[in-house]
Amino acid sequence: MSTQCRFCGEAVRPDSMFCPSCGQLTDAVAGVAPPFPGSDSAPRRRDSTSVAAPAPVLDPVPLPAPRKPARKSESAESSTPAKQPSAVRSSETPKKATGDKSRTAAAATPTTTAAAPTAVTLPDGQRLPLESVLVLGRSPEQGAAQHKGVAVRLPDPERAMSRVHLVISPVPDGATATDPGSANGTFLERAGTQYVLVAGTPTSLLPGDRLLLGDATLIVS
């Protein structure tokens, strides 16, 4: 035997406290208000033919656009002057390196502003005119043939000089000295300052110049 739910009218078993259809309390518990708030006290019957109205569809709410990081305007950037390198004070002069010797390595050829030389004096006092190519060294015979010049052998007891140590060549406006690549190098002393001859680079000579190769000193006049 079954009873009917007083809310929806569905059949309910006698020993059941709740309706299996709507979940309300059955007549077994009399005088009890419906457990759901807002529900009417009058029983409601389910109409099998009625269809619940669909919930209204709400229009989508547009989301705010993401914020972009602030950037400096081009006009502000262009108006900012670029930092200029600080000018070097004219009173500041480069410090000259000090050492035991006054030799200065010169990458450039010393300037020449005097008359052209005409001769070179050897350590033994012999004076050779600068009319042909002079090839000087400890044993310059082979180098003389290569440079098409005159071999000038210099004494070298300490063996500080190369076989072909220096080549002096006459030119239309004077003479030049060239170190072909000696082991210990050649130094040009002019006005109290010594310069290192760059290997393979001719250097113009002036009267009064001194050429130091090994232990020998040549005087240009």
Burial-class residue 85 by CB neighbours within 10 Å (0-12, 13-18, 19+).
exposed
The pLDDT value given to residue 16: 75
The confidence score (pLDDT) of residue 12 equals 74
85 pLDDT higher than 50: no
Which residue has better confidence, 32 or 189?
189
The pLDDT, as a whole number, for residue 1 is 61
Under the banding of pLDDT at 50, 70 and 90, the label for residue 205 is very high
Question: Which pTM value belongs to this model?
Answer: 0.50
Q: pLDDT tens-digit profile of 153-167?
A: 999 998 999 999 999
Q: Which domains does the chain have, with CATH numbers?
A: 1-45 (no CATH), 103-220 (2.60.200.20)
pLDDT value at position 49? 53
* pLDDT tens for each residue of 113-136: 568 899 999 999 999 999 999 999
- What's the pLDDT band for 61 if we cut at 50, 70, 90? low
Which of these ranges, 66-75, 168-177, 190-199, has the smallest mean pLDDT?
A: 66-75
* Residues making up the chain, counted from first to last: 221
Percent share of the chain, pLDDT over 70: 59
In the predicted structure, residue 91 carries a pLDDT above the cut 50 = no
pLDDT beyond 50 at 108: no
H helices of the chain, where? Answer: 74-79, 141-147
Bridge partners for 151 per DSSP: 135
pLDDT over 90, % of the chain: 42
On average, the pLDDT of the chain sits at 75
Return d(Cα 160, Cα 164) in angstroms, integer. Answer: 12
DSSP string, 104-150: E--SSPPP--SPPP-EEE-TTS-EEETTS-EEEESS-HHHHHHHTSE
Q: Predicted confidence band at 27 (pLDDT cuts at 50, 70, 90)?
A: low
4 within 8 A of 24, measured Cβ to Cβ: no
